[in-house]
Amino acid sequence: MVRKMVSIFMLGLAGYFLFDNRYRVMNMLLGNRFLRRVAVGSIMGLPGIRSKMMQSVFSGPSEFQ
């Protein structure tokens, strides 16, 4: 019982640490070329995000008529 409580506490502490330093962690992960390729590849593999991204990149200027 105590072991399970300590595990839950440690997971919560790790989650708090990651949330508190989320931008530092993101910069560290995306600074690595291999991890950046894996992250972008996995995000672009999601259909909703991919279509939204492609639409915003290749849609042309919306302010000009």
Domain-embedded: residue 62 = no
Dihedral of CA atoms 26, 30, 35, 40 in degrees, nearest 10, equals 100
Give the domain extent around 29. Answer: 22-56
Domain-embedded: residue 45 = yes
Domain-embedded: residue 44 = yes
What's the pLDDT tens digit per position in 1-60? 999 999 999 999 999 999 999 999 889 888 999 988 998 888 888 888 888 888 888 876
Angle at 58 between CA 52 and CA 60, to 5 degrees: 115
Domain-embedded: residue 63 = no
Predicted confidence at residue 17, as pLDDT, reads 95
Nearest to 25 by CA among 17, 42, 10, 34: 17
Domain-embedded: residue 64 = no
pLDDT average, residue stretch 56-65: 68
Domain-embedded: residue 15 = no
Domain-embedded: residue 40 = yes
Predicted confidence at residue 33, as pLDDT, reads 93
Looking at the 3D structure of the chain, how many domains does it have? 1
